[in-house]
Amino acid sequence: MVSPLLSSVTPVMKHSKFKMASKVAYFYDPDVGSFHYGPGHPMKPQRLSATHNLVLHYDLHKKMQLYRPYRASYHDMCRFHSEDYIDFLQRVTPQNVQNFTKSLSLFNVGDDCPVFDGMYDFCTMYTGASLEGATKLNNDHCDIAINWSGGLHHAKKFEASGFCYVNDIVIAILELLKYHPRVMYVDIDIHHGDGVQEAFYLTDRVMTVSFHKYGNYFFPGTGDMYELGSESGKFYSVNVPLKEGIDDQMYISIFKPVMQAVVNHYQPTCIVLQCGADSLGNDRLGCFSLTTKGHGECVQFMKDLNIPMLVLGGGGYTLRNVARCWTYETGVLVDEDIKNDLPFNEYLAYFAPDFVLHPEISSKQENHNTKQYLDSVRQFVLDNLRHVAYAPSVQMQDVPPDLISLDNVEESELDPDIRNHQEDIDRRVEPNNEFFDGEQDQDKDEGLLDV
Ligand SMILES: [Zn+2]
């Protein structure tokens, strides 16, 4: 049985016999870094401006197509969320918040998820970017799509949670499922990817894999390794609970074998990678001891699988390290080895005293993971994968229309500050005739996808 959430979503076959060289699309709205959650709040959208600034000063934009992203509509958000909840997000402001007392508690808005100026616009930006990334992947306009402003994995259908209001990941995956029979979601944020897991808990169309700190009431409290999925989705939720203080070597020693085994069994046709940077050492909220290189090694591993991939941000509360990490990972994704000394940039003072991309992690955090513990978790996860059908597939039907039409992107919406606009080029190479068109399809590409 397919989850009710997916009842209207069916994939279409598509051809990929003319595989082009790796193409990376990068989405950034110049306004996304100017929002404020409020004084003292650890979530700082400014980290997105700092990241983008470093990306430009390392000249990484020359190796990607840069886009000012589409803004998600009310309708886009209601693909996953309830209308009542999105109505509320659209209407509430810091000025009228006193009229919404009941809704605030109903939708869990107020403390961790405050009402701030432009909150709804912020959601439309980061969600639109993930959605457009999914659309570009679906249309073969890129092999990798990057949206560091996305990855807000805690948001639920009816409520905000953990600094997340709209779950851009679920909305992007729903779009990917129109074309892809199997989407794999991978989450390396220190917190459990609960919102995404919950959305796809009953289906084998999405395999969710989350590596996170678990225990001692660490937020959000879910993500035990015994959470496996239910009904058709049983064994399609994978959880790797870790203890505080895990270092690069230990993290990689469980990440790589688990991911390789999941890929071997599940054979995803598309990957969504949430790169929450709160799993780095010295994070303001996190308690792991990963370095930027260790975190980036996970991204490299996923990239090397050569499967179309949507790469998203997520948590990350020590601004300078978030910017370092996501800049380094942008370099990894475009195959550019960037130098350790930071280039001159507007945020340089933030990176004192060392001014390097890969600072020493001088964490006082004790590592509570043991080899025995990790071996037992890894074995448990690998044993469960034996229950996963090899490359489960679904009946292919006509594809519903794309949520957004790439043809609707107006020239005027493109950011003049962003170089290398590719919209025109993309229009020219629109592969209208590359998609499976039922009986009329003349190509003999049977076997590309298992149906
Ligand atoms: Zn997090």
Of 52, 81, 153, 154, the catalytic one is 154
Give the CATH H-level superfamily of domain 19-395: Histone deacetylase domain (3.40.800.20)
Q: How far is the CA of 200 from the centre of ligand 1 (A)?
A: 19
Average pLDDT estimate for 237-254: 98
Alpha carbon distances (Å) from 182 to 175, 259, 267, 347: 12, 15, 7, 40
Q: How far is the CA of 217 from the centre of ligand 1 (A)?
A: 14
Task: Please tell me the least confidently modeled range out of 296-305, 343-352, 383-392, 432-441.
Answer: 432-441
- In the chain, the amino acid numbered 405 is S
Q: How far is the CA of 47 from the centre of ligand 1 (A)?
A: 14
H helices within 24-64, ranges in order? 46-57
Q: How far is the CA of 313 from the centre of ligand 1 (A)?
A: 10
315 neighbors 193 (Cβ within 8 angstroms): no
pLDDT tens digit sequence for 61-93: 999 999 999 999 999 999 999 999 999 999 999
Give pLDDT, residue 420: 41
Q: Is the pLDDT of residue 272 over 90?
A: yes
Q: Is the pLDDT of residue 435 over 60?
A: no
Give pLDDT, residue 397: 62
Whole-angstrom distance between the N-terminal and C-terminal Cα of the chain? 16
Q: How far is the CA of 275 from the centre of ligand 1 (A)?
A: 9
CA distance 362 to 186: 28
pLDDT tens digit sequence for 106-156: 999 999 999 999 999 999 999 999 999 999 999 999 999 999 999 999 999
Q: What is the mean pLDDT of the chain?
A: 87
- In the chain, the amino acid numbered 309 is M
Q: Is the pLDDT of residue 439 over 60?
A: no
Q: Is the pLDDT of residue 444 over 70?
A: no
Q: How confident is the model at residue 22 (pLDDT cuts 50, 70, 90)?
A: confident
For residue 154, indicate whether it is catalytic. yes
Give pLDDT, residue 3: 46
Q: Taking the CB of residue 391, how many other CB atoms lie within 10 A of it?
A: 15
Q: How far is the CA of 408 from the centre of ligand 1 (A)?
A: 34
CA distance 85 to 337: 44
Kindly give, in sequence order, each residue whose CB lies less than 8 Å from that of residue 429, ignoring residues fewer than 6 positions away. Answer: 141
Q: How confident is the model at residue 364 (pLDDT cuts 50, 70, 90)?
A: confident
Q: How far is the CA of 40 from the centre of ligand 1 (A)?
A: 17
Q: Is the pLDDT of residue 166 over 90?
A: yes
pLDDT tens digit sequence for 219-245: 999 999 999 999 999 999 999 999 999
79 neighbors 9 (Cβ within 8 angstroms): no
